[in-house]
Structure 1
Amino acid sequence: MTSRPTLGLRARLLFAFALLSVVTAAAVAGGIYVKARNAILQATQDTAVQAMTNRLDAVFPLRSATPDPAELGEIARTVTDRNSSAVAVFGAARSPGGLDLALVPRQVRRAVADGEVAWQRVIWQNAPILIIGTPLLIVEGDRPTRLSGIEVYTARSLLGEERSVDGLAASAWLIGGAALAFAVVLALLATRGVLRPVRELGRAARLLGEGELRTRIAVTGSDELAELARTFNNTAAELERHVRQLREMEADARRFVADVSHELRTPLAALTAVADVLDEDSTRLPEPAGRAARLVSQETLALTGLVNDLIEISRFDSGVAALALNEVDVAELVHATLRARGWSDSVQTELPPEVTARLDPRRMDVILANLVGNALRHGEPPVSVRLSSGPRWIELEVRDHGPGLEEAVLPHVFDRFYKASAARARSEGSGLGLAIARENARLHRGDLTVANAPDGGARFTLRLPRVAQEPDGEPA
C-alpha cells in the first residue's frame, strides 16, 4: 500500500493564507457589489419615478375627462426625454408611437389599474430597462382624490447604470486580486519566520540521530517555538550525558573482559598441560577418578575456547583486529575447513571450482567452523554448504533441514552470549561463536545474515567482496 503524497508545511501554510484571502476578498467584494448595485438601481428608480411624477404635474388641468389619442400623445411626450419612451392609455385608447405596451409586465399594469405607482426591471433586446407605471389622479380642493382612468407608462434604459455596476464589480475583483497577492507576500514572510526554527529543529534532530550529541539550537524569543527549542536542548543534553555514561561503562566492561582474558591465559596454559596429562592417564585410573579426569579435561578445553573467544572479541572492540589477506580458492578453503574437523562426510557441498577471492584464510576458517558447527549441533541433517559468485561478490550459504529458528530468536542470533534455549549445557558453546563470525565478516567489508528457509531449516548467508579491503579502506 503506497502512501499518498502530501504537501509540505510551507505549501500548506501558503495554501491556507491564499484560501483565506480568496474567501475574504470574495465575501467583501461580493457584499460591496450587491450593496452598491442595489443602491445604484434604487437611486435610479427613485429618481425616475420622481421625475415622472413631477412632469405629470404639468398635465393638469386635463382638457377632457375622456382624452383622445392626440391628448394621450401630449401626456406621453410630457414624461419623455432622450433616455426614455412613454405611452399613455385611457381605456382602449392609447397615445400613438412610443412605448410598446407588450413590454409592460402584467403585474405592473394591475398595480397601476388599482391606483398604485409600480415599476419593474426587464430585459429587452439584451439590454436592461426600467418600466415605470403610474395612474393620473385627480385632486380637486377638499374633494377626495380619484382616478382619472389615464395610465402612463415609461421605459428607461439602464445601460449606463449597468456599466457603472460592472465597473464597480471589476474594481472590486481587482482590489481582491491585489489583496490576494499582498496576502501571499505576507504568507511567504510569515512562513519564512515560522519555518526557519522548524527547519533548524529538523536539522538538529537529524544531526542528533546521526550521533552528533553536542548539537544544540539557538533559542530566541519566548514563544512556543522557543520553548520547543529549549526542550530539545535539554533533551539533547540529557541524552549526551546518558550516552557518555553508557560508553564509559561499556569501555570499562570491555577493558575488564580483555584484562581478565589475558590474565587467564597463563594459569590456563598450566591448567591445560595438567589436564592433558590427566586425560592421557584417565583410562588407567579407577572410576570415578577416571571420569573426573576426563571431565576436567573437557571443561579445561571449554574454558580455553571461551578465553580465546573473549580475547578475539576484545580485539574487535579495541579496533586492533587486522586482516592477513591472500588470494585463495574459496572451494578449497571450505574443503580444508571441513577436513580439519572431520566434517567432510557429514556436510553436503555445492562448490563451483576456480572461484577465487582475496580473503583472510584464518578468519574465513573461523567463520565457516562456527556456521557449520552450529548447524551440525543444533540443526538436523542434511547440512549443506553452497557457493555462488558474481563479478564483485561471493556468497556462501550454510543451512540445515531442521525446524529452523523461532521468529523471536532471529534478531538476536548474532548477539553476544545469546543462546536460543536457556536449557543448553555450558559445553555447547560460549554464545560468542556467531558474534565472532559476523565481526569477521564485517572486517572483510561483508556481512553475515540468517533466515529460515521456506522448506525448513536455518539458512546463514555469508556475503563477501572478492577483493577485501583493510579497515582503513585501502585494498590490501
Structure 2
Amino acid sequence: MKRLRPQKRLRPLKRFRPRLGGLRTRLLIAFVLVALISTVTATALAYRESRTAVLARTQDAFQTDVRDRVDSVAPDFDMPPDVRTLTAMADSVSSGLSGAPLVVTRYQDLTASSDGLADRTRITPELRASVRSSGRTRFQRVEYRGRPYLVVGTPVTYDGGRVSGLEVFAVTSLLAEQEHTDALLDSVRGGLPPVLGLAALLALLAAGTVLRPVRELGRATRRLADGDLDSRAEVKGRDELARLAADFNTTADALRASVTDLRDQEARARRFVADVSHELRTPLAAMTMVTTVLDEDAAQLPTDAARAARTVSDETARLARLVEDLMEMSRFDSGAARLDAAETDLGLTVRGTLELRGWTGQVAARLPEGIRAVVDRRRVDVAVANLVGNALRHGAPPVTVTLSATADGVTVEVTDWGPGLPPDALDQVFDRFYKADTARTRSEGSGLGTAIALENARLHGGTIEAANRPAEEGGGAVFTLRLPRHPRQPGGQDGAGRETAAGGGAR
C-alpha cells in the first residue's frame, strides 16, 4: 500500500576531533568508536525493522478489517445515500471494528461520521484525493495532538468493480504500537553502556597484547642507544611485530659487528701512532744534538751551508714538537693521562706562561691575583700556551688574555683582532689536524694545539669554547677556557666514569 508520510529534515552532525594521546589511548578510542557505531547502527536498524513490522502488521490488519466490514454492510444501504443513511453506515462500520474507531462516510458533498463531535481534520485532503483518484484502499499515518493515528480510506464499489462514489474513512490510534516500539528502543539504550564498557575492556586487553612487544622493543632500542650492543628484543610468534623484533635483532647484530670493527681499527691506529711516536724519539734526540752543533757553527759555514743547517734545525725542532704532541694525544686516547692537581693562583700561572715564551710584550694580560683553583699547573700552562700561540699566529694584535672568576669556576678568555674563524670552522676547530685555511699545507703548528688544549681542559672537568666577536665590536676570534675550582672527577674522568677523548686542530 502507498503511504503518505511527511519527510523530516536531518540535522547536520557536528565534527568531533578528539585530541589523541599515545597508541594505547588511540586504540581504546578506536575500539570504543567502532563498538559505538556498530551498536548504534544495529540499534537503528533493529528499531526501524521492528517499528516497520509492527506498523505493517497493524496497517494490514486494520485495512483488511475495514474493507471486510464495508463490503459486508454496504449492500444493506440504498444508493444514492442521504445524510441519515451515511450516518447509519458509519455507525455500522465502526461498531463492527475492534475498538470502535471513528468512521467517516462521504458521498459527493454529503459527509457523516460515527461520532458527530469528532474532529475530522485527521483525514487529510491528500488521502481523500488519493482514494478518489485511485479507486483503491489507501492509508496514511498522521499525528494529531501529539498522538499517532492510522487513517484508512476505501471506496465502496458495485459488483464488477464499478465505483459508486461512496467513500469510507476509518481512524484508529497507533499509541499502543508507539509505546511498544519506544519500550524496545529504551531496552536497547539500556544495554548500550554495558556494551561500550565491554568494548573498552576488550580494547584495553587488545592494546596491552599489541603494545607489550612494542614496549619491549622500545626498551631494547633505548638500551642499544645507550651503548648496550648486546641488547636484543624477544621474538614471539610469527606476526608483524615478531618480524619487526627479528629485523631489530638483525640490525643490532650488524651494528655490533660494525662498531667492534671500528673500535678495533681505531685501537690499531692509536697503537700505530703511539708506537711510531715512541720509535721516533730516539733518532730525533740524536738529530737534535746534531742540529744544535750545526746551529753553533752556522756562522762559520758558507752562506748556503749555513742556510741549510738552520733549515734542518728548524724542521727537526718542528718534528720534535709534532712527535711530542702525538705522544700527548696517545696518552689521552689510552687513558693514561692523569692530573697532578694542587691549589694554584691562576693569575701567576698564566703570567708565567706568557713570560716563559717571551709573549709578555705581545699580549695584553688582565690577570688579577687571588683567583685560586685546584688544577694541574703544567696542563693549564699547555692549554693557555696553545690558545695564545694560536691567536698570535693566526689572529691580529692586540691579543688579550683575561682571567676572571665565576660562580662555579674560573674563566680564561683569549681574544684577538684578526679576521676570526670561518662559520664552518667553529664546529671543527677542535678536530685533530684541522686547519681553517685549507690552502695552507704547512704552518708552524701541528694542527693538534687546540685538541690538546681541549683535552687538558676536559681532564679538569672543564671545556673550551670557540666563537667570533661581533663585527661592530671589532671582530676577531674568542677562545674561552672554563675550569671548575676543583676537578669534578679524579683521574680525568667524565661524569660517566669514562676517560675523556676528543679531537682538535688549529686555525
For normalisation by structure 2, the TM-score amounts to 0.84
Comparing 384-393 with 436-445, which one deviates more in the overlay?
A: 384-393
**Match for 2:414: what amino acid?**
V
**Match for 1:92: what amino acid?**
L
Comparing 87-96 with 283-292, which one deviates more in the overlay?
A: 87-96
Equivalent residue, structure 2, for 1:42: 56
CA shift, 1:213, in A, is 0.9
**Cα-to-partner distance string for 1:139-161 (whole Å, 9 max, x where unaligned):** 4xxxx334444332222222222
Equivalent residue, structure 2, for 1:109: 128
**Match for 1:132: what amino acid?**
V
Comparing 233-242 with 432-441, which one deviates more in the overlay?
A: 233-242
Give the SS at the match of 1:320.
coil
**Cα-to-partner distance string for 1:243-283 (whole Å, 9 max, x where unaligned):** 22222222222222223323333332332232222212222
Q: Is the 8 A contact 2:341 2:377 kept in 1?
A: yes
Q: Is the 8 A contact 1:79 1:86 kept in 2?
A: no
Q: What CA distance in whole angstroms lies between the structure 1 residues aligned with 2:447 and 2:111?
A: 122
Give the SS at the match of 1:421.
coil
CA shift, 1:80, in A, is 5.2
- Are 1:28 and 2:42 counterparts? yes
Instruction: Note closer, same or farther for the CA distance 1:145–1:314 as it changes in structure 2 (3 Å cut).
Output: closer
Q: Is the 8 A contact 2:102 2:172 kept in 1?
A: yes
Instruction: State how many pairs are aligned.
Output: 466
Equivalent residue, structure 1, for 2:476: 457
CA shift, 1:185, in A, is 2.9
Q: Is the 8 A contact 2:90 2:103 kept in 1?
A: no
Equivalent residue, structure 2, for 1:132: 152
CA shift, 1:362, in A, is 1.3
Q: Is the 8 A contact 2:105 2:167 kept in 1?
A: yes
- Are 1:71 and 2:85 counterparts? no
For normalisation by structure 1, the TM-score amounts to 0.89
Picking from 51, 59, 65, the partner of 1:51 is: 65
Q: Is the 8 A contact 1:99 1:154 kept in 2?
A: no
Structure 1, unaligned stretches of length 5 or more?
none
CA shift, 1:188, in A, is 2.5
Q: What CA distance in whole angstroms lies between the structure 2 residues aligned with 1:473 and 1:145?
A: 109
Q: What CA distance in whole angstroms lies between the structure 1 residues aligned with 2:254 and 2:393?
A: 46
**Match for 1:276: what amino acid?**
T
Task: Map 1:82-93 onto structure 2 (within 5 A).
Answer: 82=99, 84-90=101-107, 91-93=109-111
Give the SS at the match of 1:217.
coil
CA shift, 1:441, in A, is 0.9
Instruction: Note closer, same or farther for the CA distance 1:116–1:447 as it changes in structure 2 (3 Å cut).
Output: same
Equivalent residue, structure 2, for 1:94: 112
Comparing 443-452 with 56-65, which one deviates more in the overlay?
A: 56-65
Give the SS at the match of 1:408.
helix
- Are 1:194 and 2:210 counterparts? yes
Q: Is the 8 A contact 1:87 1:99 kept in 2?
A: no
CA shift, 1:175, in A, is 5.0
**Cα-to-partner distance string for 1:18-40 (whole Å, 9 max, x where unaligned):** 33333333333222222222222
**Match for 2:39: what amino acid?**
A
CA shift, 1:208, in A, is 1.4
Q: What CA distance in whole angstroms lies between the structure 2 residues aligned with 1:452 and 1:6?
A: 46
- Are 1:10 and 2:28 counterparts? no
Task: Map 1:251-262 onto structure 2 (within 5 A).
Answer: 251-262=267-278
Instruction: Note closer, same or farther for the CA distance 1:116–1:453 as it changes in structure 2 (3 Å cut).
Output: same
Q: What CA distance in whole angstroms lies between the structure 1 residues aligned with 2:386 and 2:56?
A: 100
CA shift, 1:445, in A, is 0.9
Structure 2, unaligned stretches of length 5 or more?
1-18, 496-507
